[in-house]
Amino acid sequence: MCKPNEIKFKATCRSKPTILLTQSSYHCTDEKGEKGPLSPSKTSTFLTVGFFVLLLCVSEQLFIHFIKTYCAHLHPVMDVARNQQVLARHVGVDGLGIFLVSILGMKNRHVLSHLLTFKSFKRSDSETEGPKRIHTYLPGAHQVLLAFFAYQTKNMYDTIVWNDGILFILHHLFAGATAWLGMYPGVAGVYGLFFMGISEFPTCTLCLLANFDPELGIDGLGEAFPTIKAILAVMFVTSFIAIRIIVWPALTYHFWGDCLTVLKRDSVKETNTVKISLKVMMTSSALLTLLQFIW
């Protein structure tokens, strides 16, 4: 049972604007403390997104200062202002932001364990359990989706400033929109734990590896630090195979199966907003899967 002060906090977290810093702050109830868990208000979500974006901006500047002060002497390529900005972006923003959502996803990995058994692929319980997975609100999932949305917001700005290209812009748009729909109206949150949390581990390593790319990163950095580049490459390939090649298709199979099951239903929960959101998510799932193979 919740203590009286805990109920009071949860009851007000939907009405009083709050920066959501802990998983418990995503566990709201109605004013009487009877219905829940419920999602936090959009105002609190926007405040928290702004807070996370600010943290990423501060982190970026701190990394620039750190590289200038302590790393510029390591090699001539580290003493170039543009290169310092590139490193700060890929490490202090991309690496840190994606590592955060990955860790938050991993903290809730137990929620997904039943979907990775051989028995689960028979989908014998899909008519009853599928709708539950789509409609059940999970505080941990909302936390992951919010952090992911905040990162995509900062990353979209950086993509435009650095002129990364249209493919990256499309990726951030679809990924950000999918994360938002997972929060509001709030569907398929359980799958957000993987697709926008755990599955980002390979991306985290890839962002660090991007520093060694002559076009997206720093020309000559690979020759300057070949061992670090090799270690990151091995980490990326290993994690990509394990998570993106093996687990990703399995959970995509369940996600699409549950979405199709829900879209066939006509209960009070299957509103037009929910159905449109699921169709957008399915489209985003297909496009993001295609994009990752193109890259």
How does pLDDT run across 91-129, given as a tens digit for each residue? Answer: 999 999 999 999 999 999 999 999 998 888 888 888 889
pLDDT of residue 230: 97
Confidence of residue 262 (pLDDT cuts 50, 70, 90): very high
Confidence of residue 265 (pLDDT cuts 50, 70, 90): very high
- Distance between CA atoms of 79 and 193, rounded to whole angstroms? 39
Query: How many CA atoms lie less than 13 Å away from 143 in the CB half-sphere?
Result: 22
User: Between 291 and 178, where is the model more confident?
Assistant: 178
- Distance between CA atoms of 187 and 179, rounded to whole angstroms? 10
**Out of 3-7, 10-14, 60-64, which region has the weakest mean confidence (pLDDT)?**
3-7
Does pLDDT of 34 surpass 80?
no
- Distance between CA atoms of 259 and 264, rounded to whole angstroms? 9
Does pLDDT of 13 surpass 80?
no
Tokens at residue 235, please? 């980490």
Confidence of residue 10 (pLDDT cuts 50, 70, 90): very low
Task: Tell me the per-residue pLDDT of 272-285, one tens digit each, with 9 for 90 and over.
Answer: 999 999 999 999 89
Contact by Cβ (8 Å): 236, 191: no
Average pLDDT, the chain: 91
**What percent of the chain has pLDDT above 70?**
93
User: Between 37 and 33, where is the model more confident?
Assistant: 37
Task: Tell me the per-residue pLDDT of 222-242, one tens digit each, with 9 for 90 and over.
Answer: 999 999 999 999 999 999 999
Does pLDDT of 6 surpass 60?
no
User: Between 12 and 107, where is the model more confident?
Assistant: 107
Task: Tell me the per-residue pLDDT of 163-195, one tens digit each, with 9 for 90 and over.
Answer: 999 989 988 998 999 999 999 999 999 999 999
**What percent of the chain has pLDDT above 90?**
78
**For range 62-78, the mean pLDDT:** 96
**For range 86-91, the mean pLDDT:** 97
pLDDT of residue 8: 43
Q: Which of 38, 36, 45 is nearest to 18 (CA)?
A: 45
**Out of 62-66, 140-144, 164-168, which region has the weakest mean confidence (pLDDT)?**
164-168
User: Between 128 and 87, where is the model more confident?
Assistant: 87
pLDDT of residue 291: 72
Vertex 259, ends 255 and 262: CA angle to 5°? Answer: 140
CA dihedral 192, 195, 198, 204 (to 10 degrees): -130
User: Between 251 and 11, where is the model more confident?
Assistant: 251
